[in-house]
Amino acid sequence: MNQKNVIIIMIDGGRLDRALRSQVFNSLKSQSVFFTQSITYGPHTIAAMHATFSGSYGTRTGTNSYWSTFKFKKNKFKTLTEYLKENNYYTHADVINELVVPKQGFDNFIVHDELNDNLAVRHKELLHETATKLRSGQNFFLYLHYSKIHTGIMNQVLKVYNNFSKEYYDNREQNDKRYDSLFNGAEIYLETVLAQINDLQLDKNSIILVMSDHGISVGEKFGERAYGAFCYDYTLRTFTYFMADDFTPKQVAQQVRTVDFMPTILEYLGISLDSKYEKPDGISLMPLINGRTMPEPTAYSETGNPLDKKEPPKEPNTKSIRTSKWKLIYNQHNDTKELYNLENDPNEEKNLIDTGLDIEKTLWQELDRLQKPI
């Protein structure tokens, strides 16, 4: 077994485009394996992070909506935390609320005050306490949830506008400025936390994952003022940086999925999958990290569009299947479909559905297969 600590730094609501033009995030490229096409299962935190921790889609685990944390099939799907706990890891989560990640396997599951806590200071102190107080020979897993982008969007957007507030979509410059200010807070936080990791020399004996769970709209598509309503790339594409002292820094353009992270970490640590549990949907990315090739699987995503309701539905009604080049979206609530060539049309503006493209049938078959529980 590879005796390494595991640290996940999750930037809730972190947009990939902002990371790509950020000096702080770009500095990670020289220290990490950076995946430029990392796709989330759910464009909202609960479904996204249950899929990340289990390596499996919510169609199978039961956690496929805002309402289904307690439907997670913990007797069938083993989480990353449980694997680490069984291998003598001390496990600690600092989260925004009790619903966002599976609790099982955590020694400590602490909810921070998203409105008042200084998360940079809090997580810096947590890193120091964990690294210095653990008895010799025990590794640790820390899940650090940076929630301030979410909090700002909640207070400044979700509580002020609805998904059809014309005022919001007519003020794109203001929306961008608001988001950029919130993202700058994430940059300051990340600099602080990474500096502490380096000061404690945890970069020498840890695998570190810096990721976002989903993006956030700044008004690109009418009907989604923030996230969780559509399956467009501004919320589905996330940022992913894997760091370890024996990784050669590189940039990987091949599409990967957030369900691949759990199998990747386990393979790196030399921990085998437990045959008593369901096999994950995700696959290890270690071949790509090690500079080898591997087939590119499709990425399945889904969410519950609330339409004109105040709350999202109990079950997903908007679904997508994606490759590096193509995406098919099925809006189940009104039985419409969308097909986009992502290379030529990255903003997903020209719907190519029913134009006779062979890829449409192929993607529909794959979407039909994955949207049904096995």
List pLDDT tens digits, range 335-371. Answer: 999 999 999 999 999 999 999 999 999 999 999 999 8
- What kind of fold does domain 5-289 have according to CATH? Alkaline Phosphatase, subunit A (3.40.720)
Q: Which tokens go with 82?
A: 């449980």
Domain 299-370, CATH number (from 3.40.50.920, 3.90.550.10, 3.30.1120.10, 3.20.20.100): 3.30.1120.10
Domains of the chain by residue range: 5-289, 299-370
Cα–Cα distance measured from residue 336 to residue 23, given in angstroms and rounded to the nearest whole number:
40
DSSP string, 52-78: HHHTS-HHHHS--STT-GGG--TTT--
What tens digit of pLDDT does each residue of 127-183 get?
A: 999 988 776 678 999 999 999 999 999 999 999 999 999 999 999 999 999 999 999
Single pTM value for the model: 0.97
Segments of 244-331 assigned E as strands: 250-252, 256-257, 299-303, 318-322, 326-331
**Rounded CA separation 73/89 (Å):** 23
Mean pLDDT of 207-234: 98
Q: What's the pLDDT at 134? A: 73
Mean pLDDT on 203-222: 97
pLDDT band at residue 320, thresholds of 50, 70 and 90?
very high
Asked if pLDDT for residue 374 goes beyond 60, the answer is no
Separation between Cα atoms, residue 335 and residue 332, nearest integer Å = 5
The pLDDT of residue 2: 74
Terminal C-alpha separation, the chain: 32
**pLDDT tens column, 224-275:** 999 999 999 999 999 999 999 999 999 999 999 999 999 999 999 999 999 9
- The tokens for 88 are 């003598």
